[in-house]
A = this chain, B = another copy of it.
């Protein structure tokens, strides 16, 4: 996909520090699994706190970890003095988010000067089996301070 060459060598520290300031990630129990140029993974364990009416993970939470992985994937490639802003996202739900833990992967497919287009996936892990439960397409924007 994208030839990801971060202009800021400290991209990982910058991403991790931003993630740490997000109240919602603590609230739902999500953590950064990996931060590479143009690719970020977030992990979420199942808990009662993130469920919909049938005990599966709520679509909004699935969307939240997909969007966040995409936003930080885009942020790895943005300048040191920038902020990342979500412009829009679209998600298709493929299967119920049933499992013990969930991994979202965000990937930059085109990084422009101002806008980045990313794709996201959310995988459910249940009894050693992985299922793709959602796919996302999103636009992120760099705000230079």
Interface, chain A (partner B; CB < 8 A): 18-19, 21-24, 26-28, 47-54, 58-61, 63-65, 67-68, 71, 83, 85-95, 109-110, 114-115, 117, 119, 132, 135-137, 139, 141
Q: How many copies does the complex hold?
A: 4
Besides A27-B27, A88-B92, 14 new A-B residue pairs in contact (Cβ under 8 A), listed by A number? A19-B53, A21-B54, A23-B47, A23-B51, A24-B61, A26-B49, A58-B68, A60-B64, A60-B67, A88-B137, A92-B117, A109-B132, A110-B132, A137-B137
Closest B-chain residue to A49, C-beta based? B27
Q: List 21 A-B pairs, Cβ < 8 Å.
A: A22-B51, A22-B53, A22-B58, A23-B58, A24-B28, A24-B49, A24-B60, A24-B61, A59-B64, A59-B89, A60-B60, A60-B67, A60-B68, A63-B64, A87-B92, A88-B91, A92-B117, A92-B137, A94-B109, A95-B110, A137-B137
